[in-house]
């Protein structure tokens, strides 16, 4: 009996001890959470009250509206741009530092060994060297703006050095950022030219094709048949499957939508303009929305964090937006290296000394890595990322963005333009990247111009690498400014671009071989052509349109080809597709089946014959597959389709692969399949790949989103369904009210995880809930920046 009593007492003590232990753990967790919360809140920037800043000559008012958009009002431009730099740094300092490091090739200094190849690539391209060379091309006004902006950024950095309230990302990575410079801003501008591409990878891929396959099969994937027989680099000279193994390739879908309507087609009688640039979707957004006002300038819109001015938006008289033209502004040159001197390259029968630039790479936790970049007369040698340095044949790259350029001069002039004519004059200084500008002004004009430097080639047309050892190739100037594609006040009453072909076959200059799949453009034109009396709300609806004209083109003929298909699953899937209205809704199975099916068709055609690393270079693969399918439907299947068993077998095998994939994820009941179960947007933070930081920075997780890469509401996705590319900013303006416009910046304005504007536009982005930004008398939380000597 006593033993039982003792055991009961021991059990009570054990339970009591366990209870106290559990309570202690709960208390510890709560304490950690509270301490962490206090630590995060400590680094929130001051957005109300007063702050004294050196170098200001007059007080500056900063009003952050309900969506965190700063409205900066200054008595002069010097103070305005000092304040812009300071405010950008308050909200986006870590993004700014990471952007300049990415573009400069200095990520390894704070990330470590994992970033070495990335740094090598960007050191080789030389975006920062090009930015340094650009400084001397700027006017004194441009330098003053850049200098004032840098000064404002550095005032905030110095403030953080004094109070220690660094954004948490710097604490996690264990470093403090260096001071900001003019070159940092220009380097970020050069990076955006890189991100919007130039197609060197397509030249490399086509060279691989003619190196690896017979002529008919290689040319089957060309955008057009070469007029002259190409120069073929033998695999023993340069193995393309290795030469670009570590190259960093921009996203294939770096496109956009924009359109502008004349007053004849609008309810207000004044032009309407809409723009939604498609870039990577991340936290924070690529774009930062601001309103800048001084006696000489009053402009509202978005800018890249780290750059002064407003690159896209409107002032009181002019509104503008862009899409990527996608021109061929990068060329690969086949260089012959002297076997007795690896720093010499053949040109017109003589060996020329190349420029060798030391680019030592600091690596966190390791010794500095010695690295050198070789630059021929055409540009940097970029085919040496797989240790093929012993080869006597290498590839160099010429690119407009590696030349000095003055985009900021253009931005400053665009910001102050009073009408279309002044805006176009400002575009003279906008060199790279080449963009499709659409413009509206309060005089009632609407206009389009594909603007920037587009090379004129002596020979060749940008399809393939060309010999670098002769002066018979190369560039012979640029398309003259007044001969760039241009359209003003057309009879149709509207202009729309969606990375589609913007020139007729009669246009005298080569622009590009690579145009986006036409479906977004076709849908925009379909909507704008039929009606009049459009409103800003109609433009918003069109930006959120999810009709899939890709499916509308291919599903009916696919159904005919597979009319005798066997298999219960296949028949059920085809029945679902036959009843679909072609809208990529999140709660339907049809868009799930179709969008995966189109990807699997490409896999059936290429997986067994084209290495994965080469498919990564195949920018435009989807458009090429569409062309193969059209040829097959016309009774002319090429070798890729025939070798895969013929058109019907290709479609059937791809459909089976599609159904297998979806069934593994969703189960066998097709009525329960939903596009939104797979197709989800995350807006991931750059540090969220490290667990458990994903819980801190990506608190909302994946959210279902409609559309796809071919709908006007663009939502391109990875193979795992993650939507990582789309409208990074949406914008609509009615020029009847030229001082206000409608915006979405997903997921929000601030990069600070505890800010109320960190991800407050996440659901807005998904659902199309725009906020109105007004230039006149904005209201919100007010911060006064004062000169230090003002009491």
User: Residue 623 sits in which domain range?
Assistant: 549-582+589-673
81-90, 537-546, 687-696: which has the minimum mean pLDDT?
687-696
Compute CA distances 430 → 137, 190, 389, 414, whole Å. 12, 12, 37, 10
Confidence at residue 236, expressed as pLDDT on a 0 to 100 scale: 53
Tokens 């200001």 belong to residue: 56
User: Which of the four pLDDT bands, split at 50, 70 and 90, describes residue 9?
Assistant: low
- CB-count burial class (<10 Å; 0-12, 13-18, 19+) for 306: buried
Enter the tokens of residue 136: 């001397």
Give the tens place of pLDDT for each residue, 628-678. Answer: 999 999 999 999 999 999 999 999 999 999 999 999 999 999 999 999 999
Helix (H, G, I), strand (E, B) or coil at 164: coil
What mean pLDDT do residues 38-60 have?
93
Q: Can you say how many angstroms the Cα of residue 129 is from the centroid of all Cα atoms in its chain?
A: 22
Task: Tell me the average pLDDT of the chain.
Answer: 91
**707 domain residue, yes or no:** no
pLDDT tens-digit readout, 467-500:
999 999 999 999 999 999 999 999 999 999 999 9
Least confident of 64-78, 204-218, 327-341, 489-503: 204-218
Instruction: Average the pLDDT over each of 347-361, 390-404, 746-760 and give the range with the smallest value.
Output: 390-404
Residue 244 has pLDDT above 90, yes or no: no
Q: Is 123 a domain residue?
A: no
Distance between CA atoms of residues 732 and 721, nearest Å: 29
DSSP 547: B
Can you tell me the distance from the alpha carbon of 629 to that of 600, in angstroms, rounded to the nearest whole number?
A: 13
Q: Are 70 and 157 in contact (CB under 8 A)?
A: no
**Which of the two residues, 271 and 239, has the higher pLDDT score?**
271
Is the CB of residue 548 less than 8 Å from the CB of residue 710? yes
Say if residue 322's pLDDT is above 80: yes
Neighbours of 505 (CB within 10 A): 5
Is residue 116 within 8 Å of 94, Cβ to Cβ? no
pLDDT digits (tens, 9 = 90+) for 274-313: 999 999 999 999 999 999 999 999 999 999 999 999 999 9
- Tally of structural domains, the chain: 1
DSSP H or E stretch at residue 343:
strand 341-347
* Helix, strand counts (H, E) of the chain: 25, 30
Closest listed residue to residue 605, CA positions, set 636, 646, 575? 646
Please, which pLDDT band fits residue 226 given cuts at 50, 70 and 90? low
Residues 786 and 791: their CA atoms lie apart, in Å, by 8
576 assigned to some structural domain = yes
pLDDT, tens digit, for every residue of 232-242? 555 556 665 56
Q: Is the pLDDT of residue 564 over 80?
A: yes
Report CA-CA distances (Å) from 599 to 238, 588, 609, 721.
30, 18, 16, 12
Mean pLDDT value across residues 128-156 = 97
Q: Coil, helix or strand for 786?
A: strand
Bigger pLDDT: 36 vs 192:
192
- Most confident option among 207-216, 319-328, 509-518, 611-620: 319-328
Binding site listing = 328, 331
Q: Is residue 493 part of a domain?
A: no
Whether 62 is in a domain gets the answer: no
Cα distance from N-terminal residue to C-terminal residue, the chain: 85
Q: Is the pLDDT of residue 96 over 50?
A: yes
Three-state DSSP string of 655-682: HHHHHHHHHHHHCCCHHHCCHHHHCEEC
Q: Classify residue 10: in a domain, yes or no.
A: no
**Around 62, how many Cα atoms within 13 Å sit in the side-chain half-sphere?**
25
Find the range with the poorest average confidence among 242-251, 349-358, 513-522: 242-251
- Specify if 662 maps to a domain: yes
Residue pair 381/375 in contact by the 8 Å Cβ criterion: yes
> What is the C-alpha to C-alpha distance for residues 667 and 553, in angstroms, rounded to an integer?
29
Q: What is the rounded average pLDDT of the residues 735-755? A: 97
Q: What is the pLDDT of residues 409-441, one digit of tens each?
A: 999 999 999 999 999 999 999 999 999 999 999
Closest CA to 332 of 466, 242, 445: 466
Known binding-site residues for Ca(2+) equal 328, 331
Residues designated as active site: 256
Q: What whole-number distance in Å separates Cα of residue 306 and Cα of residue 304? A: 6
CA distance 244 to 239: 9
C-alpha span between 286 and 288 (Å, rounded): 7
Between 647-666 and 568-578, two packed helices, what is the crossing angle to 10 degrees? 90
Query: Is a pLDDT exceeding 60 seen at residue 30?
Result: no
Per-residue pLDDT for 200 more than 90? no
Number of Cβ atoms within 10 Å of the Cβ of 428:
13
Ordered DSSP codes for 485-546? -EEES-TTSEEEESS---S-TT-SS---S----THHHHHHHHHHHH---B-HHHHHHHHT--
Instruction: Say if 651 falls within a structural domain.
Output: yes
The reported pLDDT for the residue numbered 238 is 60
Instruction: Using pLDDT thresholds of 50, 70 and 90, give the confidence band for residue 173.
Output: very high
Task: Name the strand (E) or helix (H) holding 611.
Answer: none
Q: Tens of pLDDT along 380-401?
A: 999 875 444 567 889 999 999 9
**Could you tell me the CA-to-CA distances from 382 to 245, 475, 651, 746 in Å, in that order?**
11, 19, 38, 35
Q: Are 168 and 40 in contact (CB under 8 A)?
A: yes
């Amino acid at each position: 009996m006593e033993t039982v009593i003792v055991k009961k007492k021991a059990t009570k003590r054990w339970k009591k001890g366990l209870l106290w232990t559990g309570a202690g753990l709960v208390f510890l967790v709560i304490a950690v959470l509270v301490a962490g919360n206090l630590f995060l809140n400590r680094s929130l920037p001051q957005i109300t009250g007063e702050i004294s800043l050196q170098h200001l000559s007059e007080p500056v008012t900063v009003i952050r509206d309900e969506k965190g958009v700063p409205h900066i009002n200054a008595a002069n431009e010097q103070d305005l741009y000092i304040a812009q730099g300071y405010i950008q740094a308050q909200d986006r300092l870590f993004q700014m530092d990471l952007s300049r490091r990415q573009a400069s090739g200095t990520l390894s200094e704070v990330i470590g060994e994992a970033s070495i190849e990335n740094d090598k690539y960007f050191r080789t391209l030389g975006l920062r060297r090009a930015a340094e060379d650009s400084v001397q091309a700027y006017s004194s006004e441009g330098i003053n703006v850049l200098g004032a902006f840098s000064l404002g950024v550095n005032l905030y950095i110095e403030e953080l050095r004094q109070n220690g309230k660094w954004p948490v990302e710097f604490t996690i990575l264990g470093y403090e950022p260096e001071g900001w410079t003019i070159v940092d801003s220009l380097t970020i501008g050069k990076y955006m030219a890189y991100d919007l591409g130039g197609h060197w990878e397509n030249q490399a891929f086509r060279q691989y094709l003619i190196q690896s396959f017979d002529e008919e099969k290689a040319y089957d994937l060309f955008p057009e048949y070469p007029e002259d027989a190409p120069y073929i680099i033998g695999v023993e000279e340069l193995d393309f499957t290795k030469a670009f193994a570590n190259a960093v390739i921009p996203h294939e879908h770096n496109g956009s939508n924009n359109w502008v309507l004349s007053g004849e087609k609008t309810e207000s009688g004044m032009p309407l303009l809409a723009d939604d640039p498609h870039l990577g979707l991340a936290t924070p957004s690529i774009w930062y929305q601001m309103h800048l006002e001084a006696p000489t300038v009053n402009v509202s819109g978005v800018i890249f964090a780290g750059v002064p001015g407003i690159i896209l938006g409107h002032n009181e008289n002019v509104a503008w937006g862009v899409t990527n033209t996608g021109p061929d502004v990068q060329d690969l040159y086949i260089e012959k290296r002297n076997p007795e001197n690896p720093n010499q390259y053949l040109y017109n029968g003589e060996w020329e000394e190349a420029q060798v630039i030391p680019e030592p790479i600091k690596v966190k936790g390791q010794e500095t890595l010695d690295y050198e970049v070789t630059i021929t007369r055409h540009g940097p040698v970029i085919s040496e990322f797989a240790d093929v340095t012993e080869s006597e044949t290498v590839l160099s790259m010429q690119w407009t963005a590696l030349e000095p350029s003055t985009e900021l001069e253009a931005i400053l002039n665009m910001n102050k333009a009073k009408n279309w004519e002044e805006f176009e004059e400002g575009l003279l200084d906008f060199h790279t990247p080449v963009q499709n500008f659409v413009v509206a002004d309060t005089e009632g004009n609407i206009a389009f111009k594909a603007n920037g430097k587009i090379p004129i080639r002596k020979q060749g047309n940008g399809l393939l690498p060309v010999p670098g050892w002769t002066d018979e190739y190369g560039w012979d100037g640029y398309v003259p400014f007044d001969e760039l594609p241009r359209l003003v006040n057309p009879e149709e009453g509207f202009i729309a671009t969606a990375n589609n072909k913007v020139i007729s076959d009669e246009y005298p200059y080569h622009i590009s071989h690579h145009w986006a799949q036409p479906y977004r453009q076709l849908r925009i034109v379909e909507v704008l052509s039929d009606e009049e009396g459009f409103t800003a709300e109609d433009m918003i609806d069109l930006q959120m349109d999810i009709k899939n004209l890709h499916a509308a083109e291919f599903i009916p003929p696919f159904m005919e080809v597979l009319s005798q298909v066997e298999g219960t699953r296949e028949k059920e899937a085809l029945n679902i597709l036959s009843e679909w209205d072609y809208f990529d809704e999140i709660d339907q199975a049809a868009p799930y089946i179709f969008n995966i099916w189109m990807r699997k068709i490409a896999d059936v055609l290429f997986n067994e014959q084209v290495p994965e690393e080469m498919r990564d270079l195949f920018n435009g693969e989807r458009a090429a597959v569409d062309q193969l399918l059209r040829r097959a439907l016309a009774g002319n299947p090429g070798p890729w389709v025939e070798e895969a068993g013929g058109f019907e077998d290709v479609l059937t095998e791809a459909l089976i692969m599609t159904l297998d994939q979806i069934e593994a994820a969703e189960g066998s009941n097709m009525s329960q399949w939903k596009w939104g179960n797979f197709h989800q947007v995350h807006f991931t933070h750059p540090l969220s790949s490290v667990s458990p930081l994903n819980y801190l920075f990506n608190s909302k997780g994946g959210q279902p989103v409609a559309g796809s890469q071919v709908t006007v509401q663009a939502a391109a996705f990875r193979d795992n369904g993650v939507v990582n590319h789309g409208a990074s900013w949406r914008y609509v303006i009615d020029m009847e009210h030229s001082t206000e416009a409608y915006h979405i910046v997903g997921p929000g304005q601030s990069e600070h995880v505890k800010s109320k504007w960190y991800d407050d536009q996440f659901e807005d982005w998904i659902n199309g809930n725009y906020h109105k930004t007004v230039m006149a008398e904005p209201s919100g939380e007010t911060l006064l920046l004062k000169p230090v000597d003002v009491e």
